[in-house]
Structures are given as C-alpha cells and as structure tokens.
C-alpha cells in the first residue's frame, strides 16, 4: 500500500480526487492510503438528514456520497482515506469496517487510551470518566428490557473520538475515518454528530494525551497498513 501524506488540504478537491482515482483504477492499480487534515467543513452522508445540522454558521456544508450522517472535519484531526480494492484484498465491507475500527483501537492503545465499539453506531468511543481503563462496556439493553425498538443507543459516559464513513464503488473503497487529536471541538456542538443528539465528542488533547498530529498520523497509518493487508 502506498502511503501519501497530503498535509492540510481543502475537502472538496480531495473528495473529487478520491472519486477520480477510484473511477480510473484498474485491477493492477496499487492501493493507496491518503493522510490529511482539512480546514473546517461539515460533510453530510447520503442518508444525512437536514435536522441534524443545527447551526452550521459560516462553516461550509458539503454533500457527499459516503454512508452515514453529518460529521465535522477541522484542524487538529487526522483524516485517513484508504483507497483499496476489496475484491483483491479478499474481504467484504463488514470486515473492512471492523479492520478500520481495530486499527484505530490499536493506535489509541499505544497512547494508553482504551477505545470501544458501540453496536449499531460505527466509530470508536472512549469513556469520559476513565479513558485509560480497560473495563469493557456493559451490554446494551435489548428491546423489551428498558429499551424501545426505535430508541437510540445510550451514550452516557461515552464520547466519540473517531468517526467512520465509507463508499464502495466496483469493490473499491474511498472516504474513510477521522481521528480527533487536538482540535477545537466547538463546531461539533452545531450538529448532531453522526445523527445522534446525545452524542458527545472528544479528542486526545482533552483527555490529557499530548501527541503531535504528524506523529498520530504516522502511528495510525502503520496500524491501517497492517490491518488492511489481504
């Protein structure tokens, strides 16, 4: 996998470049991993509902073809775009998402932070009261056990530190994941992140973990390259 470090780049040209790369690739095209940082922007997924955009203000909102709802990208956040031929890699979308999450969990673990999955809510979460503890999350209640069929998943005590949103075209992936390192979190209050009204967001800096953005991107790229291998 070829790793490309793009630095801070505007979202729209990068989005177009991913589409062009995917449309033009052949069965022999080398997979790539793009690492970057974006100026402030809200991106809306295909299923995105306008009611989750509360008060975007002067920050641009870009409609995209990835899955999921609205999220925010901004300075101090590592964005990783794996451009993979999943058919050649030999695994399907569900496994791909698992590997993206697992790479993020392992990256956080190197910094002493315990990342968690929440069933039905892609991404990685941390405990706000004990981000360094290793206790597993309690099982979620099932419908009929204090939870209605359409009720949102409980995020009490959790905050999201990494978001996922992907697109698969002709068995090839683009878009990817974002990891909050040291950023201004205020814009997240202008949306319902990923479509969840009760969802808090955090970053490594807020948890007292100081790491340069480039160093965080380097560790994440190593974990992704290892976990996304065929």
Contact between 35 and 54 under an 8 Å Cβ cutoff? The reply is no
Neighbour count for residue 214 (Cβ, 10 Å): 13
Active-site residue, from 83, 97, 163, 194 = 194
Give me the sign of the Cα torsion angle 184, 190, 192, 198: positive
- Among residues 6, 7, 3, the alpha carbon closest in space to that of 33 is found at 3
Distance CA 24, CA 19 (A): 9
Neighbour count for residue 146 (Cβ, 10 Å): 9
Contact between 183 and 77 under an 8 Å Cβ cutoff? The reply is yes
Active site residue 194: yes
Distance CA 154, CA 151 (A): 9
Active site residue ranges:
194
């Amino acid at each position: 996998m070829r790793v490309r470090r793009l630095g801070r780049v505007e979202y729209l040209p990068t989005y177009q470049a991913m589409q062009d790369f995917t449309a033009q690739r052949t069965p022999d095209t080398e997979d790539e991993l793009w690492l970057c940082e974006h100026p402030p922007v809200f991106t809306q997924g295909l299923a995105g509902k306008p009611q989750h955009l509360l008060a975007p203000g002067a920050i641009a909102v870009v409609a995209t073809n990835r899955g999921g709802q609205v999220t925010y990208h901004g300075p101090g956040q590592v964005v990783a775009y794996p451009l993979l031929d999943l058919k050649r890699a030999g695994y399907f979308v569900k496994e791909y998402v698992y590997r993206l999450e697992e790479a993020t969990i392992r990256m956080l673990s190197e910094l002493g932070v315990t990342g968690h999955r929440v069933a039905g809510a892609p991404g990685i979460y941390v405990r706000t009261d004990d981000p360094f503890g290793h206790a597993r999350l309690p099982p979620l209640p099932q419908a009929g056990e204090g939870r209605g069929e359409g009720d949102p998943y409980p995020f009490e005590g959790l905050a999201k530190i990494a978001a996922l949103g992907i697109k698969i075209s002709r068995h090839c992936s683009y878009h990817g994941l974002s990891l909050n390192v040291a950023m201004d979190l205020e814009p997240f209050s202008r949306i319902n992140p990923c479509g969840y009204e009760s969802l808090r967001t955090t970053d490594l800096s807020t948890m007292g973990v100081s790491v340069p953005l480039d160093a965080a991107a380097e560790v994440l790229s190593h974990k992704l390259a290892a976990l996304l291998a065929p």
